[in-house]
Amino acid sequence: MARFLGASTSALLLVGLLSLGLRAAPAGVSGRPVEPLPMLPLEPVWTLTLDAPPAAPGTLDATRIYVPLRDAGVASLLRSNGTQVWRVQLDSRWPVVATTTTVAVATDDAVIGLDPGTGTERWRTALSGLTLPLVADTRLLVAATEAGELVALHPDSGAVLWRRGLTERLTVAPALGDVIVVVSGSRVMALDRLTGAPRWERQLASRGGAPTIVRDLVLVATAAHRLHALHQDSGLEAWMWRVGGDVIGVAADAQRIYFATLDNVLHAVAGKSGNQQWKTLLTGRPGAAPIVVDGAILVAGVSSKVESFTARSGTAQGVYIATTDLLGPPLVDPTATRAVSVVAIGRDGRVTALRSEKRMMRDPMPTPLRDLPGRRLTRERLPQPPA
């Protein structure tokens, strides 16, 4: 009876904790959290060479790859096998932006919205003198011009929603969240998404880099080797990290914020407090922001090397070395559940689609048994009956 009451009490306690929103982390037999399968090593699924070298890094969506080509338009490839779906004669030196409904291409004098499936032109908005790549989410498309103007377009129609003049031309791309965050020199400013009106402004001690929005925080690295975390709604500082080199880029998952620095270190800090969780040395200089992929952190080097680490502890998982110098970091599916989860585009036009060997979860090859399991038993002999 005592056992029955104890089990019932434990069950009720568990139900009560779950009702309060508490969730237990996945655990193995030992009770420790289960590590996701390593992202590396990678194996090729298909490889092709484009008709022309890429003019800018590619873009990945759920089914296609989009690559601006040098003097040869923009090409769309099937992610599953590399088949060219369409090509349009639009010259662009910027990566295209893919939303759920539109592929936006920036040329020297316009922004053009294309149908993702066919490449058919849906809309065209005259806009010249772009200085930075387009930035977009499902509701907004933002462009920065050499005249120091920020222009917001509707991604489905190309209609101009508002224009906002800035005191000087932007040199780093804005970030989209609950507000639009721009960094101009040492000034960080948040603009209203609907009108472009200023919401708040903060002055940093030195020139800032490209902002990143992670949940309710705005992260800005400065030339003084500091990473500032500002509250997105007010611009007040939540925390600040001083590091040993320039911060290359920032990424995050539900638990931590990750950033790589030019002293060849990958850092992980708690999202809310900024407390250090771990840091680890890289084997080469980072060339782009870390990429978070289902329990793994990928860091692309300045040429052809990509390193992988576990998100929970920073343990090294392996290194992928491409066969050619890459133009930009590899394109990665954040869920890494599809067969093609990584696409590497070389400066020479070689495109390689890859997948994680270990996450394919293949059954081991059957091998013949050399020796039967168990131990050899001697033949038992019954006693002879008496004569």
Question: In the chain, where does DSSP find H-type helix?
Answer: 2-19
- Residue 299: both structure tokens together: 């860091």
At 338 the pLDDT is 63
At 361 the pLDDT is 67
At 114 the pLDDT is 98
pLDDT digits (tens, 9 = 90+) for 27-80: 555 556 667 778 888 999 999 999 999 999 999 998 999 999 999 999 999 999
Would the pLDDT of 387 be above 70? no
Question: Can you tell me the distance from the alpha carbon of 319 to that of 335, in angstroms, rounded to the nearest whole number?
Answer: 20
Q: Are 167 and 182 in a shared domain? A: no
- Residue 64: both structure tokens together: 């296609």
Structural domain ending residue among the three candidates 148, 172, 196: 172
Question: Could you give the percent of the chain with pLDDT greater than 90?
Answer: 74
Q: Which domain holds residue 213?
A: 173-242
Q: Are 292 and 307 in a shared domain? A: yes
Q: Are 228 and 264 in a shared domain? A: no
Q: Which pLDDT band, with edges at 50, 70 and 90, does 362 fall under?
A: low
At 359 the pLDDT is 76
Read off the DSSP letter of residue 147. Answer: T
- How does the average pLDDT of the chain come out, rounded? 88
Q: Which pLDDT band, with edges at 50, 70 and 90, does 24 fall under?
A: very low
Structural domain ending residue among the three candidates 200, 224, 242: 242
Q: Which pLDDT band, with edges at 50, 70 and 90, does 3 fall under?
A: very low
At 363 the pLDDT is 65
At 10 the pLDDT is 47
Nearest Cα neighbor of 201 from 213, 189, 193 is 189
What is the identity of the amino acid at 48?
L
Q: Are 106 and 190 in a shared domain? A: no
Would the pLDDT of 17 be above 80? no
Q: Are 46 and 126 in a shared domain? A: no
At 119 the pLDDT is 97
Contacts of 251 (CB under 8 A, 6+ apart): 212, 257, 258, 259, 289, 290, 291, 292, 297
Q: Are 203 and 166 in a shared domain? A: no
Which helix H or strand E contains 3, and what residues bound it?
A: helix 2-19
- For 82, how many CA atoms within 13 A lie in the half-sphere containing its CB? 18
The residue with greater pLDDT, 87 or 375, is: 87
Q: Are 214 and 299 in a shared domain? A: no
The CATH number for 40's domain is 2.130.10.10
In a domain, residue 95? The reply is yes
Q: Are 164 and 208 in a shared domain? A: no
Q: Which pLDDT band, with edges at 50, 70 and 90, does 18 fall under?
A: very low
pLDDT digits (tens, 9 = 90+) for 198-239: 999 999 999 999 999 999 999 999 999 999 999 999 999 999
At 370 the pLDDT is 73
Would the pLDDT of 23 be above 50? no
Question: Can you tell me the distance from the alpha carbon of 226 to that of 205, in angstroms, rounded to the nearest whole number?
Answer: 10
Q: Are 258 and 284 in a shared domain? A: yes
pLDDT digits (tens, 9 = 90+) for 155-179: 999 999 999 999 889 999 999 999 9
Q: Are 90 and 196 in a shared domain? A: no
- Residue 82: both structure tokens together: 């590399």
pLDDT digits (tens, 9 = 90+) for 245-299: 999 999 999 999 999 999 999 999 998 899 999 999 999 999 999 999 888 999 9
The residue with greater pLDDT, 5 or 262, is: 262
At 21 the pLDDT is 42
In a domain, residue 194? The reply is yes
End-to-end CA distance of the chain, in Å?
A: 63
Number of domains observed in the structure of the chain: 3
Question: Could you give the percent of the chain with pLDDT greater than 70?
Answer: 88
Structural domain ending residue among the three candidates 242, 267, 297: 242
Q: What is the pTM of this model?
A: 0.83
Q: Are 45 and 98 in a shared domain? A: no
Q: Are 342 and 318 in a shared domain? A: yes
Number of residues assigned to the chain: 387
In a domain, residue 285? The reply is yes
In a domain, residue 12? The reply is no
The residue with greater pLDDT, 137 or 18, is: 137
In a domain, residue 376? The reply is no
In a domain, residue 308? The reply is yes
At 13 the pLDDT is 44
